């Protein structure tokens, strides 16, 4: 992959920061040539890249020979439950749900349990024939699971941007986001409007899907987005519509937040393990008590290396899956 020289800083530190910000989950290196940079992208094998000093414990529990450079692809399905390490695979699971239904009818309610919104702009370009993966050059069609999976592998769709293509495809979806302090201290509702932003690295005029958040009022149309810390409000008046449940385990503890300087963040979400289990029990009780698990079409649990501490994966998984009645 080549880009003009003027699209990256000449300073190596600034260039590294620019590439890390743009490609997010993958490592990118740029080699200067005659009039252009040649970009090399790969999934890192460096343990330090993933912040968590005990990550190897989690990978050992997962098994299947998964390593630092292959954990991006780790996933296993049991019925309507998909477990994965990277929550970008949530979009692939939703794509399979769409393909299986043929037509989705009424827009679904997305029950989003996460310490992040995941409304970032993926590296997809709007062309005359539809969306295109800007890294591989392949078509991206949300109702085609293979194309979605390929975009996750290429890095075009990442952990912080998997929600955006889905909302562009079904803009009437309602998102109910359960989040803990310090990132959420109260409850509020917004309207999400779909837009495109100009890309500033791989193309000169390419447009990428993006989301704009607005204060909710009667004159604003778009996807409704509720963020709350309150379980009752999160599940209040759930209508008889299709529901998709996404649980990022960093909702329960986001000690690292993907930040190598995590120890200096005094406001980090880092409760003890007994509190994590209490929160898991509260979540599963809220869902099973309303008989919602049976009605949810698709469930994804992501363990988020470098966010949710790996030493908790095994016991937290057992508690959550049993609580949902999915063992």
Say if residue 26 is in the same domain as residue 67: no
pLDDT digits (tens, 9 = 90+) for 23-44: 989 999 999 998 899 999 999 9
Which stretches in the chain have pLDDT values below 70? 103-104, 218-221
Task: Indicate if 72 and 11 belong to the same structural domain.
Answer: no
Query: How many domains in the chain?
Result: 2
169 and 224 part of one domain: yes
Residues 38 and 57 in one domain: no
Specify whether the CB–CB gap between 69 and 86 falls below 8 A: no
Same domain, 25 and 70: no
Residue 304 and residue 257 share a domain: yes
Q: What is the DSSP letter of 139?
A: E
- 291: phi > 0 → left, psi -120 to 50 → alpha, else beta; which? left
Asked if 132 and 224 sit in the same domain, the reply is yes
Give me the pLDDT at residue 103, please. Answer: 66
State the pLDDT at residue 215: 84
The answer on 56 and 25 residing in a single domain is: no
What is residue 218's predicted lDDT score, i.e. its pLDDT? Answer: 59
Q: Provide the whole-model pTM.
A: 0.95
What sign for the dihedral angle of Cα 228, 233, 237, 243? Answer: positive
Predicted pLDDT at 219: 59
Per-residue pLDDT at 220? 61
Predicted local confidence at residue 319, as pLDDT: 98
pLDDT value of position 128: 92
Asked whether residue 61 falls in the same domain as residue 158, the answer is yes
Range of the domain at 271: 47-323
pLDDT of residue 18: 95
What does the pLDDT read at residue 104? 61
Does 142 lie in the same domain as 38?
A: no
Residue-averaged pLDDT of the chain: 94
pLDDT at 28: 95
Inter-residue contact 171 to 164 (CB < 8 Å): no
pLDDT tens for residues 87-126?
999 999 999 999 998 766 788 999 999 999 999 999 999 9
Q: For residues 56 and 108, state if they share a domain.
A: yes
Are 210 and 91 part of one and the same domain? yes
250 to each of 90, 97, 177, 241, 304, how far by Cα in Å?
A: 15, 24, 13, 27, 7
Between CA 10 and CA 5 the distance in angstroms is: 8
CA-closest candidate to residue 177, choices 101, 120, 237, 229 = 229
């Amino acid at each position: 992959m080549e880009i003009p020289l003027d699209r990256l800083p000449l300073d190596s530190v600034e260039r590294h920061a620019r590439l890390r910000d743009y490609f997010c989950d993958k490592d990118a290196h740029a080699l200067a040539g005659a009039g252009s940079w040649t970009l090399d992208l790969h999934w890192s094998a460096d343990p330090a890249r993933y912040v968590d000093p005990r990550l190897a414990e989690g990978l050992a529990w997962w098994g299947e020979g998964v390593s630092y450079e292959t954990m991006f692809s780790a996933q296993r399905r049991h019925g309507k439950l998909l477990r994965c390490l990277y929550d970008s695979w949530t979009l692939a699971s939703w794509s399979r749900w769409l393909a299986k239904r043929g037509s989705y009818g009424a827009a679904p309610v997305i029950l989003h349990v996460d310490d992040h919104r995941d409304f970032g702009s993926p590296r997809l370009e709007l062309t005359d024939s539809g969306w295109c993966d800007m890294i591989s050059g392949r078509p991206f069609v949300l109702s085609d699971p293979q194309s979605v999976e390929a975009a996750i592998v290429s890095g075009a769709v990442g952990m912080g941007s998997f929600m955006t293509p889905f909302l562009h495809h079904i803009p009437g979806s309602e998102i109910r986001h359960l989040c803990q302090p310090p990132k959420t201290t109260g409850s509020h509702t917004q309207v999400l409007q779909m837009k495109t932003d100009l890309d500033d690295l791989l193309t000169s005029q390419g447009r990428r899907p993006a989301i704009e958040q607005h204060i909710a009022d009667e004159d604003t149309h778009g996807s409704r987005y509720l963020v709350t810390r309150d379980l009752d409000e999160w599940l209040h008046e759930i209508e008889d519509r299709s529901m998709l449940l996404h649980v990022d385990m960093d909702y329960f503890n986001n000690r690292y937040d993907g930040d190598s300087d995590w120890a200096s963040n005094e406001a980090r979400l880092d409760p003890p393990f007994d509190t994590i289990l209490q929160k898991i029990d509260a979540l599963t009780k809220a869902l099973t008590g309303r008989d919602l698990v049976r009605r949810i079409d698709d469930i994804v649990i992501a363990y988020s290396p470098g966010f949710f501490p790996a030493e908790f994966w095994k016991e937290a998984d057992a508690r959550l899956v049993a609580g949902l009645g999915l063992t």
